[in-house]
Structure 1
Amino acid sequence: MSDRFTSAMEEIHNKQLKTYGEIIDATTELCQSHRQFVKSALDTCLKKCKDDEMLFETIQAFKRDLEQKNMLLKEKRHAISDMISAIQQKEVQKDDIIQKIEKLKDEQAKRKELIESQNKANKDRLRNLQKARLVFQDHLGMEIRTILGKTQLVKGEKLQFVFRNINPSNQDSAYIVTMGIKEDGSYQIVSSDPVLKCLPVLESRLQETNNLPAFLANVRKEFISLARC
């Protein structure tokens, strides 16, 4: 019985040792598997951290690039706004210049019309002077002189009409009326020698009728009346 008990105990002990060995082997395998899993997880975490760091750096680089682009865009917007303002200002200046050009064209056209009108009036006055010259100089002994006045009153080129054969006692005695033409083309009586009191009236009538021969005829009549007084 003792031998059997001992044998049974040894068998049970051997079985327990075998089971214990199997448990130790399984535990060892589990430890090795756990170490490998932990190492793999750690490697994965480290790789993930590096990837996250690279991603964070990339995001930061994108942010810096975006901020720089936003600054450039803001500067370009300011530049475009300034350019638009400059263009608008130039458009306003262009409109002003166009208006000034149109105004100058209108003024030039008016001046041209005025010059043409004055030229026509001057031609008419020249014809009147020629007629007066034929009537008075050739038939009545009138002399026409061109003078350059030295005083402020008669400054510029004037015409002197010298009448003779007025005074019966002295046929060569000269009776003179001096006149010119204003800027607007109208006649201007400067003086008469001797002085005719009615000369302003005759000048006003000349301005109305523009008939120089009739004016000279009336002046001659006034000189004759003055000489007979």
Structure 2
Amino acid sequence: MTSITDPNMSDRFTSAMGECQNKQLKTYGEIIDGMTELCQSHRQLLTSSLDLCSKKSKDDEMLFETIHTFKKDLDQRNASIKEKRHNISEVMSEIQQKEMQKDEIIQKIEKLKEEQAERKELIKSQNKANKDRLKNLGKARLVFQEHLGLEIRTILGKTQLVKGEKLQFVFRNINPSDLDSAYVVTMGIKADGSYQIVSSDPALECLPVLESRLQETNNLPAFLANIRKEFIARARC
């Protein structure tokens, strides 16, 4: 062991302490440099993080604005769809009403066609009945004109009772004391084709009964014969 009294001991100790100090200083320098680099790295990381956060915040703001715009547009679209649905509902309701009106019109047209067909048949039937009656009138005219001195006139009535064309049957050879004396019955045909007795001159109380019988039998010659009999009975009273 070297004695502490060694004159070189102090130098060696000083040298060792210097080396140790230098090592520590170097180590401290390395630590400081590392901490400096770490601080710079941390500062850069913070700066980068702040920039990223700022960018993220701006992106989020833009995203929120876009979402708000989309929501507003969606609300407008929903309102527009609701209004269009309401309009469609009204149009459909109007179409249904028009369809119902169309069906009613078609039914009315069909009913009118049926009524028109019925009227045509009725007119056809009435025309046939009128032709038959005209034939009967013609036959009666020939019989009574040739054998009984009957005169048939066509008259145009001037009163509401006999409004329209009527036939006037003028009987003669009724009163033996005055063979030219005229006994008259005025008649026509109703809208339904039935005979209508308007009046007689002189008046006969049994005229409604004879008219009713004529309506039942449609036998005009027999009716005129009965009228003549009544006039003859009236003339003999």
TM-score (norm 2): 0.91
Counterpart selection for 2:206 from 193, 198, 212: 198
Distance 1:25 1:196 in 2: 156
Q: What's the counterpart of residue 4 of structure 2?
A: none
Q: Please report how far the alpha carbon of residue 92 of structure 1 lies from its aligned counterpart in structure 2 after TM superposition.
A: 1.5
Counterpart selection for 2:16 from 8, 28, 46: 8
1:103 maps onto 2:93 in alignment: no
Give the alignment's Cα RMSD to 1 decimal: 1.4
Letter in 1 for 2:59: D
Distance 1:142 1:216 in 2: 10
1:75 maps onto 2:83 in alignment: yes
Distance 2:14 2:23 in 1: 14
- Among the aligned pairs, what percent are the same residue? 81
Q: What's the counterpart of residue 55 of structure 2?
A: 47
Q: Select between 107-116 and 127-136 the one with higher mean Cα deviation.
A: 107-116
Q: Deviations over 1:13-43 (max 9, x none)?
A: 2222211211121111111111111111112
Q: What's the counterpart of residue 70 of structure 2?
A: 62
Q: What's the counterpart of residue 89 of structure 1?
A: 97
Counterpart selection for 1:216 from 215, 224, 232: 224
1:24 maps onto 2:32 in alignment: yes
Letter in 2 for 1:53: E
Q: What's the counterpart of residue 3 of structure 2?
A: none
Q: Please report how far the alpha carbon of residue 85 of structure 1 lies from its aligned counterpart in structure 2 after TM superposition.
A: 0.9
Q: Please report how far the alpha carbon of residue 135 of structure 1 lies from its aligned counterpart in structure 2 after TM superposition.
A: 0.9
Distance 2:63 2:226 in 1: 115
How many residue pairs get aligned? The number is 229
1:124 maps onto 2:118 in alignment: no
Distance 1:19 1:151 in 2: 150
SS at match of 2:196: strand
Counterpart selection for 1:169 from 170, 177, 193: 177
Distance 1:139 1:21 in 2: 170
Distance 1:198 1:11 in 2: 173
Distance 1:65 1:167 in 2: 111
TM-score (norm 1): 0.94
SS at match of 1:191: strand
Q: Please report how far the alpha carbon of residue 139 of structure 1 lies from its aligned counterpart in structure 2 after TM superposition.
A: 3.0
Q: Please, which runs of 5 or more residues in structure 1 have no aligned partner?
A: none
Q: Please report how far the alpha carbon of residue 156 of structure 1 lies from its aligned counterpart in structure 2 after TM superposition.
A: 2.2
Distance 1:202 1:43 in 2: 126
Counterpart selection for 2:123 from 115, 123, 128: 115
Q: Deviations over 1:45-67 (max 9, x none)?
A: 12211221121111111111111
